[in-house]
Amino acid sequence: MPPVDTQVVPVRSIRSLDLELALDPPVRFGPVVHGRRSIRLLVIEDGEGHRGWGEVSPLPSFSRDTPADADEAMERARSQLSGDGRTIAAWVECSDPDRTAPAWRFGWETALLRLAADRSGSTFRALAGGGAADRIPSSRLLTRFDPDMIRDALDKGWASFKWKAGRGTLDHDLHVLQSMSGLLEGRAKVRVDANRGWDLEDALRFADRAPQDVVDYIEEPLRAISDLSAFVRESPLPLALDETLREEESSALSELADVFVLKPTLTGGVTENRAWADRARETGKRLVISSAFESEAGLLTLLELALALDISEPAGLDTARYLVGGPGGGRLLPDGPVLNPGEVSSSIEKAVLDTVG
Ligand code: OSB
Ligand code: MG
C-alpha cells in the first residue's frame, strides 16, 4: 500500500446529492433496457475549508451493491466524524468493513484522496500514483452497428471501437463484424464484448471465423466460467475479462486472461484497482479502464485514475454521450478520440462542487 493511504485526514462533513439522469438512447444493462441512470455525488469537508468529492453510482444489473448499501456505508462513515481524523485506509475500512459496497468505496476513497490533495496543495492524480502520460486514447462505444458513426469516428481519428456482440444469432454477429471490417480498412480495431452471451461452441466458432486482424480481443464470451480454460486453449483471439474479475474465484480465473478490464465503480476503490494493475504488470496482462455509465464527475476520476496507474490502452469511457445532464450540464468532457483530463478537471470539479452546493 503506498504511503498516501496512511495519511491522516479529518472529515467533518459528508454531503451527498442524488440525481436521475436520462439515458438517450436507452441502454441495455444485462437483461433490462434502462432509460434512466441514478447517480450520487459526494462532497466531504475537513472543517478548515478544504473539500474532496467523488461519485457513488452502483449500476443496476452489473453492480452487486445497491444505493442502500451505499447509504449504510455513508451512515457508518458519518458516525465517525467527530474524532481526530483517521488514515485514508482506516476511513475506507470503517465505512465498509465487510467490503459489500464497491461503488461507495470508489466514490469515498476518491473523495478522501481529493480532500488530502486539497489540504496539501497536491492533486488526486498525484496521490493516486502520478503516472507519466497526460492523455489517453478513447475507445468508441457502439451499442449497435452504425456505419455512419464508424465512418465519422474514423475521420476524427478514433482507432479503437467497442462493440456489443452475443445478442443476436452468431451468423448475424459474424456478418456485422465482416461489414465493420470493410469499413475500418485496417485503421482501427474492434473489442468484441459478448457479456457472457455464448456457450463454448459458439464462442469458439466466433473466434475462429472472425476476421482475425480486426479483433483486438474478445471480452467475456462465455455463459459458464468453467468453460474459460477450454476457450483459452482453443481460441486464436485474446481473452479479456471484466465481470469475471469480480467473481469469488477471480484470482485463479484472471490467470486465463490476456486483458483485465477494470471498472472501479464495480470493483471498489483506488486501492483495489491498483492491486489489479500491479497484478497485471507482474503477469504481463494488458489493462483497460472502463466506465459503468458514471456522470462526468466519475468519468473524470476514472480518466485520472487510468493515467495515475500508467494505463495506456484506449479507455472504455465513451459513455458520456448516452447521459443527458449531470454536473455542469454534462457536456464538459470533449467527444474526441483522445482524452486529456488536464483540459477539463477544473471545470468538472467546479460543476460538482456547485451542484452539491
Ligand atoms: O460490458 O463492458 C461492459 C458499461 C457498463 C456496463 C458494462 C459494460 C460497459 C461498457 C463501457 O462497455 C464501455 C467500454 O468499456 O468501452
Ligand atoms: Mg464488458
- Is the pLDDT assigned to residue 168 strictly greater than 90? no
Whether pLDDT at 14 is above 50: yes
Question: What's the CA gap between 260 and 240, in Å, rounded?
Answer: 6
pTM check: above 0.75? yes
Residues 230, 232, 234, 239: is their CA dihedral positive or negative? Answer: positive
Distance 195 CA to ligand 2 centre (A): 6
Asked whether residue 2 carries a pLDDT value surpassing 60, the answer given is no
Which residues lie with the beta carbon below 6 Å from any ligand 1 atom?
29, 59, 62, 139, 141, 162, 193, 195, 242, 290-293, 316, 319
Q: How many whole angstroms from 12 Cα to the centroid of ligand 1?
A: 35
CB contact set of 114 (below 8 Å; sequence gap of 6+): 51, 52, 53, 54, 124
- All domains in the chain, ordered by first residue: 3-127 (3.30.390.10), 136-356 (3.20.20.120)
Best substitution site from 32, 190, 263, 286 to test ligand 1's pocket, by max atoms within 8 Å of Cβ? 263
Position 6 scores a pLDDT of 87
Per DSSP, which regions of 235-311 are E strands?
A: 239-241, 259-262, 286-289
Question: What is the residue with the minimal CA distance to atom 16 of ligand 1?
Answer: 316
Ligand 1 atom nearest the C-alpha of 195 is 1
pLDDT for res 93: 96
> Which among 213, 216, 159, 174 is positioned nearest to 192, based on CA atoms?
216
Distance, in Å, from the CA atom of 335 to the CA atom of 316, rounded to the nearest integer, reads 13
- Determine phi and psi for 143, rounding to 5 degrees: -80, -10
CA of 356 to the centre of ligand 2 (A): 31
Residue 290 CA to ligand 1 centre (angstroms): 6
Q: Which grid cell is 80?
A: 465517525
- Ligand in closest contact with the CA of 139: 1
**Which are the contacts of 98, defined by CB distance < 8 A and separation ≥ 6?**
none
Could you tell me the pLDDT band of residue 1, with boundaries at 50, 70 and 90? very low
pLDDT of residue 170: 96
Ligand nearest to the CA of 27: 1
Q: In Å, what is the CA distance from 150 to each residue of 36, 137, 153, 162, 163?
A: 26, 16, 5, 11, 11
Which residue's C-alpha comes closest to atom 11 of ligand 1?
A: 291
**Conformation bin of residue 264: beta by default, left when phi > 0, alpha when psi is -120 to 50:** alpha
Q: Is the confidence at residue 12, as pLDDT, over 90?
A: yes
Residue 130 has pLDDT above 50, yes or no: yes
- Going by CA atoms, what residue is nearest to atom 14 of ligand 1? 316
Query: Which ligand approaches the C-alpha of residue 306 most closely?
Result: 1
Instruction: Say yes or no to pLDDT of 3 above 70.
Output: no
Report which residue type is found at 198: W
Instruction: For residue 134, report the distance from its CA to the centre of ligand 1, in Å.
Output: 23
Q: Which three cell numbers mark 163?
A: 462493440
Residue 351 has pLDDT above 90, yes or no: yes
User: Residue 188 Cα, ligand 1 centroid: separation in angstroms?
Assistant: 19
Rounded to whole angstroms, the Cα distance separating 163 from 211 reads 14
Contact 292, 57 (CB under 8 A): yes
Q: Round to whole Å and give the CA distance between 104 and 272.
A: 13
Contact between 114 and 40 (Cβ < 8 Å): no
Residue 129 CA to ligand 2 centre (angstroms): 25
Tell me the C-alpha distance between 97 and 135, whole Å: 35
Residues listed for the chain = 357
Q: Are 237 and 210 in contact (CB under 8 A)?
A: yes
Contacts for 301 with CB less than 8 Å, ≥ 6 apart:
54, 55, 106, 110, 124, 264, 294
pLDDT of residue 166: 79
HSE (side-chain half, CA atoms, 13 Å) at 65: 26
Report the distance separating Cα 322 and Cα 37, nearest Å: 10
Of 41, 195, 24, the closest CA to residue 107 belongs to 41
C-alpha cell at 179: 461489414
Q: Would you state the pLDDT for residue 56?
A: 98
Helix (H) / strand (E) element for 160: namely strand 160-164
Question: Which protein residue has the closest C-alpha to ligand 1 atom 7?
Answer: 292
Q: Is 148 left (phi over 0), alpha (psi -120 to 50) or beta?
A: alpha
235-246 burial string, b = 16+ CB within 10 Å, else e?
A: bebbbbbbbbbb
Which residue has the least CA distance to atom 4 on ligand 1? 292
* CA-nearest residue, atom 15 of ligand 1: 316
Ligand 1 atom nearest 315 alpha carbon: 16
214 vs 357, residue with greater confidence = 214
Read off the pLDDT of each residue in 148-176 and give the average, rounded to a whole number.
95
Using alpha carbons, select from 142, 125, 55, 167 the residue that is nearest to residue 319.
Answer: 142
Residue nearest to atom 6 of ligand 1 (CA): 292
β-pair type (8-9, 86-87): antiparallel
Ligand 1 centroid – CA 42 distance (Å): 23
Of all atoms in ligand 1, which is nearest to the CA of residue 61? Answer: 6
